[in-house]
Amino acid sequence: LHLSQLTALTLSSSITYHTMDLNLPWIPQYSQDATGDSPSVDKESVYYVWSLALTVIFTVSVYLFEGLLDDRQKRAYQKTTFPRELEATVAEIDRERLAKSKSTDSDNNNSKPTTTLQSDDDDKTKKDDNDDTKSDLSKPLLPQLKDKFKKSQQYGLDKINFGMIASTYDTLEGVAFLLLGFLPYTWDLAAQMGHDWFGWSQEADEIKISLIFLAIVTVIGTITSLPFELYSTFQIERKHGFNKQTMGLFFSDKLKSLALTFIIGGPFVALLLWIIKAGGDKFYLYVWIFLFCFSLFMMTIVPTVIMPLFNKYEPLPEGSLKTRVFELAGQLKYPLTKLFVMDGSKRSAHSNAFMFGFGSNRRIVLFDTLLEQVKEDEILAILGHELGHWKLGHTLSNFWVTQVYFGAAFYFFSLTFGATELYAAFGFTQFTPTLVALLLFFQTLWAPVDKILSFLLTLFSR
């Protein structure tokens, strides 16, 4: 919402504004009462005095730190000199291939000539390969890699520049929403809509009003992010030859995603809030169990129900590749039952492969672009990498780390659930919905923990 719209809408209500200044405590422009003199709020509390200011400072600090990392990556993308070590290695490979080719020609001098070059007939019968994605193995690799290096650098530079602009907007929007009081305003709007349309009250029908609140926030977030998604897809990806989807397909995907958000996200949030409200002091244990079950549920339906709504999956045809993939899985004792090809080419020229399933029912999906861009040996190498993660237990360990993370997060949330001063600092001085309490916890107290853990995991993975 623009500031002018927010101001105009709020003037029609009985709630007044606070004047924003740099003196502590910082108070949002919009809050739920005229003076903030709620008898249950300790205005000397550390939560009340520091929460909003520290959240804004932390948000800006994270933005600046990540901006430094992005700038470092940007300088790497600006390099135009091909890496010397890689150049020496690839040049040696080319020399070995040339020597082997000459040796083969010499050994077969009296037999049918063997050539390393493709014939014109072969070129006519083969699909025109995209030079940006596929190497011609009949020619020296080094010149091809140097050409791809330049294109890859430019693609990375375009993406990092756009990402920095998008990150700047996201930070400005987030800070503006905090200072303007977007959350209390949106909740009051949802409560008013629930009362006017259905006769609900926020005390008796909190979960129902929370779903209206969530719908409003989701729609606003979708609208504000839409220009960036359109530019990324139809400008950057198209410029570099990767985008294949039409505008109609783009918006069709967007509508499907929104529908799934409401169909699955709505009941999920409603159950989560009910468990928190009905679970007593130990609600975090019940929430933990619920999230564990929900994670298993989503891991089951995403590849089998949700993903087929967006892409077509067909069994990989019988042939050498299918046989070799099953042999590779057998060597690693990976219980592969089905092998699919996904029509990823209708959206992008990027290629990928992934695995899913539980126990003795595992499946592998290959993008059709992967089959077009690389040879069988390369596909097996890619799958070997992914299967290696499974063999070493990385997938399972990541799942359990996530569950421990959720358990710890909701335990600490339970310790602050009754901190009315924390919520009052963000404008909720009359009524604090459970959903908003959860959002503010993850945005304030838990945000530093989340960022530090994310940074440490990134360091470890690299």
Strands 336-342, 361-367: pairing is parallel
In which residue are the tokens 């729609």 written? 219
> In this structure, what are the phi and psi dihedrals at residue 408, rounded to the nearest 5 degrees?
-65, -40
Choose among 332, 326, 264: nearest CA to 297.
264
**Structure token digits, residue 40:** 């249950």
Rg (CA), the chain: 28
Cα 371 from Cα 456, distance rounded (Å): 35
In the residue annotation, 66 being an active-site residue is answered as no
For residue 25, cis peptide bond before it (omega within 30 degrees of 0): yes
Residue 429 · residue 36 · CB < 8 Å: yes
Residue 26's Cβ-count burial label (10 Å; 0-12, 13-18, 19+) is: buried
User: What's the rounded Cα separation, in Å, for the pair 170 and 158?
Assistant: 18
Terminus-to-terminus CA distance in the chain, angstroms?
39
Residue in the block written with tokens 């690799």: 141
In contact, 241 and 349? CB cutoff 8 Å: yes
Report residue 185 as tokens.
């305003």
Candidate list 66, 173, 372, 386, residue with the active-site label:
386
Q: How far apart are CA 412 and CA 318, in angstroms?
A: 53
Catalytic residues: 386
